[in-house]
Amino acid sequence: MAKVLLIDDDELSLKLIVIHLEEAGYEVLHCSDGAEGIRAILEQMPDLVVLDLNMSYIDGFEVLEAIKGDPITRMLPVIVLFSRSDLNILEHVIELGAADFLQKPIRIEQLIAVLYRVLGSRA
């Protein structure tokens, strides 16, 4: 069973995604801010991170930069969630090393398909 870490400060979105991913057979960890997410990555070593870009305090860009800048977590795949207003930043997210991205509001089926594609046999 693949371990997925979800980092999103939208509590409703977080709860719904967690429920659906667990139903799909994933072990799901979740954090509601970037600092907590970075700690959880280092402590839990998930197989994949689903990361919202738009968060307060430490945003998704900073979390992605921290993941990709650390030799221990550099190869960790990250799926970025973004809002319509963030369309102009997608190129930057890809340059930073995101494995894929989805626009909010996301469809759970899309997210599960992306997780399966990125994780391959670990899904």
Q: Is 34 contained in some domain?
A: yes
Q: Is 72 contained in some domain?
A: yes
Q: Is 15 contained in some domain?
A: yes
Q: What is the pLDDT of residue 90?
A: 82
Q: Is 123 contained in some domain?
A: no
What's the mean per-residue pLDDT of the chain?
92
Instruction: Give 34's pLDDT tier (boundaries 50, 70, 90).
Output: very high
Q: What is the pTM of this model?
A: 0.94
The whole domain housing 52 covers: 3-117
Packing angle between helix 11-23 and helix 108-119, nearest 10 degrees? 60
Q: Is 14 contained in some domain?
A: yes
The domain spanning residue 103 has which CATH number?
3.40.50.2300
Q: Is 17 contained in some domain?
A: yes
Tell me the per-residue pLDDT of 54-86, one tens digit each, with 9 for 90 and over: 888 899 999 999 999 999 999 999 999 988 766
Region 114-123 average pLDDT: 85
Q: Is 122 contained in some domain?
A: no
Total count of domains within the chain: 1
Q: Is 84 contained in some domain?
A: yes
Instruction: Show Cβ contacts of residue 37 under 8 Å, excluding neighbours closer than 6 positions.
Output: 5, 7, 31, 49, 51, 58, 63
Contact between 47 and 119 under an 8 Å Cβ cutoff? The reply is yes
Region 37-62 average pLDDT: 94
